Amino acid sequence: MAETERTEVDRGATRDTRQRRAIRAAFMSTDRPLDPNEVLQLAAGEHNGLGIATVYRNIKTLLEEGWLTPVELPGEVTHYELAGKDHHHHFHCKSCGKVFELNACLPNVQLLAPEGFSVTGHELLLYGACRECTPA
């Protein structure tokens, strides 16, 4: 290993590989959270021969770098989205399985809590059918 490579590894720097660029492009090309299989489908068009293990490895690295954040859905595989977004919630299409971002929040969730309770955070997940899955 060359001295410059060793120094970068020692500093915790990660290489910007073609696979990682393809995976980043997959997230940037959509405006919604993706599961690893969706990432594979989108990124495979940019990088032939990309495998699911590589996708998982790169997602782990992108999480550690703070570039991605997990989106947990009850009973579903973890989805991931770009980090640094303002507070928002999600919609899960039960027909196609895709997850979409909601750009709204309840105005005062404290009113939903029982009297004397103090709300310190909340999550809201809507379920239904997306535009593509809703019959016309």
Tell me which fold the domain 1-84 belongs to: Arc Repressor Mutant, subunit A (1.10.10)
33-79 confidence digits (pLDDT tens):
999 999 999 999 877 789 999 999 999 999 999 999 999 999 999 99
Cβ-in-10-Å burial (0-12, 13-18, 19+) of 35 comes to: buried
Give the pLDDT mean for 2-8: 40
User: Under CATH, which number does the domain 86-136 receive?
Assistant: 3.30.1490.190
Residues spanned by CATH 3.30.1490.190 within the chain? 86-136
Q: Which amino acid is at 91?
A: F
